[in-house]
Chains A and B, each alone.
Chain A
């Protein structure tokens, strides 16, 4: 392996999706905004990778860049031993069906003018696969929808949770290898979120899915993920197995993020009042003009002169635990 290969990429046979040196730039007026810069990670078969970060960190952009919707500005997305970024036309359309996506707003993800049955069968119809009523009913019942009563209705007759089930059924109909979930529960009622999270776990087991789960809610990500990647301002800060990240965060940003979660434990109240000291200083810098060196340095309580000068690269911080920080909290 050349030294350019990021250390967090694993050498395993069962890697389903590998994202290497991915960058996405957007033109905003005359400026170029780097939404995602040099992000690398991989996902093994049957694994769920959680992608967390605050709004504007580029996590949703990565999800779409993997789908080539739109294609990234640089880097490679390797799926089924092919670099999707060099594919186009028919080959891209064909390969893309192996990856499916679920979005945050289930209502906006469903065409209001079409019947549920047609929405779910759409992918099968496009590819001339078996779009029989039996096949549609099979996926519908898998996600807990009653095909007989729900099939002929339109999306607006369903609640948000039910709509998200329809979206999941639509994705599963194409039998994908990888399911990319972009904030799938954050638009749902609290009492409905658990239904969808459980459903995703069930579907993952039933259809042998590999998942990329993008969310801002750290507790939700922990619940569903085997590995977690933490992003800040378009870059990866820390990646590793879920237990390691949550129990022993070594990047100052991850630590601040975890410390910000309100705990549903009233006994922690005294504690909460004590550590009112801000964990983060200042404000999120503009992605159009990110800080030199480490992007987190402007808000990091441990920042030193080297952080402004040198960009930190990923280094091992433990068993399956990697961090991009000059002074990790080991």
Chain B
């Protein structure tokens, strides 16, 4: 198969990534056999509920999982640096990894309050990566930091730079976090629920900001969220994760027009839509997301799936291509509409 990276050079190729973590309750199968690739300038949206493994996956890409918590890890994370070299981040020692964080890849976290150090002025937090990775001197770093704050839409950047995080609103803090992440012009930005802690009007501002910065810097982005709506209009590709696996992967438009995996469909139908009339009955998914303690046999969604067959409970469905569909993959024995566009023939 070919991934849709004809226009832009490939940046990241993840193959068979598996991460199992130690916990006091037992082995957590956080990420199981995850594969995807991402080209420069593109956005991959990762959708999943809490416990779907999406955040663990993001952290393992960044090499941010504490070593002692990893019980088992396998797979490769091939990252193409500027000079077209290919490096496997999964094999890279921490020391080298540290040099990549910032200039090559950066991350924005959910909670902008805890992502900033409350006792340091913004100027310190912003100039540190600039001086460390780009070797700027104090004065250069400061003026670059002010530029960055202005670029992320902070009014009066020159005045604000000497403030402390608690003097800013939640939305402004998240802008600062983004400015810090972008300080070294990374090729890949991983945004882990960047707007979940924010109000809806601020959410739009932050997502618009990310989209603009992405275009300006031709940066690739992995946008992780629990909200299908957030990625629907902003991602080129969408991966739906459930119980540590990618259960469906497709270009955004294809995903919404011909969902294959019952979980994707169920998730989509369970969300209240702003255009539906009041009191529209929601199609709730029974049960709850699985706990990832110890391996489950069969498809993890089987207990909640309305189309479940005996086979689903005994074998884990492999990831397969949708026939005649470009880059559309799913992990289901009984996909909803094999090769059929539901826009034409559906309820």
For chain B, residues 255 to 280, give those with C-beta under 8 angstroms from any C-beta of chain A: 255-256, 266-268, 270-274, 276-280
The answer to whether the Cβ of B293 comes within 8 Å of any Cβ in the partner chain is: no
15 A-B pairs within 8 Å (CB atoms) are namely A161-B288, A190-B227, A191-B270, A194-B272, A197-B284, A218-B200, A223-B278, A243-B277, A257-B200, A260-B201, A260-B203, A262-B203, A265-B256, A276-B211, A282-B155
| Cβ distance A179 to chain B, nearest Cβ, rounded Å | 16
Give the docked Cα–Cα distance between A267 and B232 (Å). Answer: 9
Main secondary structure of the interface of A (DSSP, over half): helix
* Residue pair B272, A265 in contact (C-beta under 8 Å): no
Closest to A144 in B: B286
Within 8 A of B (CB), among A238-260: 242-243, 246, 256-260
CB atoms of B271 and A194 under 8 A apart: yes
User: How many B residues face the partner with a CB closer than 8 A?
Assistant: 51
- Taking CB atoms, residues of chain A closer than 8 Å to B252 are 266, 269
A69 adjacent to chain B (CB < 8 Å): no
With A191-B285, A263-B232 given, name 14 new contacts (CB 8 A).
A197-B284, A198-B284, A217-B200, A219-B272, A222-B278, A224-B278, A242-B278, A257-B200, A259-B204, A262-B229, A263-B274, A269-B234, A276-B208, A284-B169
Q: Does any Cβ of A come within 8 Å of B205's Cβ?
A: yes
Query: Interface residues, chain B, CB within 8 Å of chain A?
Result: 49-50, 155, 169, 171-172, 199-205, 207-208, 211-212, 226-230, 232-234, 252-253, 255-256, 266-268, 270-274, 276-286, 288-289, 304
In the complex, the answer to whether B285 meets A54 with C-beta atoms within 8 Å is no
Q: Looking across the interface, which residue of chain B has its beta carbon closest to that of A272?
A: B233
Residue A88 at the chain B interface, CB threshold 8 Å: no
A189 to B242, CA, bound (A): 12
Docked CA distance A269–B227 (Å) = 16
In the assembly, what is the distance between CA of A217 and CA of B227, in Å? Answer: 12
Question: Does the CB pair B49–A190 fall under 8 Å?
Answer: yes
Report the minimal beta-carbon distance from A225 to chain B, rounded to whole angstroms.
Answer: 6
With the chains together, A201 CA to B278 CA distance in Å? 11
* Cβ-defined contact, B281 with A198, below 8 A: yes
A220 interface contact, C-beta 8 A: yes
A195, A256, A257 — which one has the most chain B CB atoms within 10 A of its CB? A195
Report the minimal beta-carbon distance from A107 to chain B, rounded to whole angstroms.
13
Verify if A192 is at the interface (C-beta below 8 Å from B).
yes
> Which one, A195, A222, A267, A279, contacts B274 given CB within 8 A?
A222
**B281 nearest CB neighbor, chain A only:** A198
Which positions 278-320 of chain A face chain B at CB distance < 8 Å? 278-280, 282-284
Asked whether any CB of chain B lies closer than 8 Å to the CB of A1, the reply is no
Q: Which residue of A lies closest to B153 (CB)?
A: A278
- Contacting pair B268 A198 (CB below 8 A): no
For B47, give the chain A residue with the smallest CB separation.
A190
* B270 partner, pick from A193, A257, A266, beta carbons under 8 A: A193
Complex interface: chain B residues within 8 A of A278 (CB) = 205
Q: How many Å from the CB of A254 to the closest CB on chain B?
A: 11
Would A265 and B274 count as touching, CB distance under 8 A? no
> Could you say which of A55, A194, A256, A269 contacts B285, with CB atoms under 8 Å apart?
A194
Q: Contact string, A183-227, partner B, CB cutoff 8 A, digits 1/0?
A: 000000111111101100100000000000000111110111110
Answer yes or no: A125 CB below 8 A from chain B CBs.
no
Whether A201 lies near B232 (C-beta < 8 A) is: no
Q: A195-B284, A218-B200, A276-B212 are in contact. Are A264 and B256 (CB under 8 A)?
A: yes
Q: Is A261 part of the contact surface with B, judged by Cβ < 8 Å?
A: yes
Alpha-carbon separation in the docked complex, A267 to B275 (Å): 15
Whether A329 sits at the interface, judged by CB under 8 Å, is no
CB of A28 within 8 A of chain B? no
Complex CA gap A258/B199 in Å reads 12
B-chain residues with CB within 8 Å of residue A276 when the two chains form the complex: 208, 211-212
Contact A279/B201 with A224-B279, A284-B169 known, Cβ cut-off 8 Å: yes
Chain A residues lying within 8 Å of B267, measured Cβ to Cβ, are: 190-191
Q: Which residue of A lies closest to B274 (CB)?
A: A219
Residue of A nearest to B275 (CB): A263
Q: How far is the CA of A258 from the CA of B234 in the complex (A)?
A: 18
Bound-complex Cα distance A263 to B49 (A): 18
Closest to A220 in B: B272
Q: Give Cα distance in the complex from A45 to B3, angstroms.
A: 57
User: Closest residue to B280 on the A side, CB-wise?
Assistant: A223
Cβ distance B285 to chain A, nearest Cβ, rounded Å: 4
* B266 and A269 contact, CB distance less than 8 A: no
Which 3 A-B residue pairs are closest in the complex by CB-CB distance? A194-B284, A223-B272, A194-B282
B49–A191 touching, CB < 8 Å: yes
Question: Distance in Å from the Cβ of A259 to the closest Cβ of chain B?
Answer: 8
Give the docked Cα–Cα distance between A272 and B205 (Å): 11
Known: A263-B229, A279-B201. A159 touches B288 (CB 8 A): yes
A189 to B233, CA, bound (A): 22
Is A86's CB within 8 Å of the partner chain B? no
Contacts of A272 in B (CB 8 A): 208, 211, 233-234
Q: Please give, as numbers and ranges, the residues of chain B lying within 8 Å of A161 by CB-CB distance.
A: 288
Q: How far is the CB of B273 from chain A (nearest CB, A)?
A: 6
Chain B residues near A190 (CB-CB < 8 A): 49, 226-227, 267, 270-271
- Are A273 and B204 within 8 A (Cβ)? no
- B277 — which chain A residues lie within 8 A by C-beta? 243
Instruction: Evaluate contact between A257 and B271: CB separation under 8 angstroms.
Output: no
* A133 on the B face (CB < 8 A): no
Q: Contact at B266–A191, with CB atoms within 8 Å?
A: yes
Shortest beta-carbon distance from A163 to chain B in Å: 11
Q: How far is the CA of A309 from the CA of B222 in the complex (A)?
A: 47
Nearest CB in chain A: distance from B18 CB, A: 24
A260–B172 CA distance with the chains assembled, in angstroms: 17
Q: Decide: B278 and A267 in contact? CB cutoff 8 A.
A: no
Residue contact B234 to A54, C-beta cutoff 8 Å: no
Q: Which of B226, B278, B286 has the most CB of A within 10 A?
A: B278
Q: Which residues of B contact A148 (CB under 8 A)?
A: none
Provide the residues of chain B in CB contact with A223, threshold 8 Å: 272, 276, 278-280, 282
CA distance A276 to B270 in the complex (A): 29
Among candidates A54, A192, A219, A266, residue contacting B201 with C-beta atoms closer than 8 Å: A54
**CB neighbours of B212 from chain A (8 A):** 276
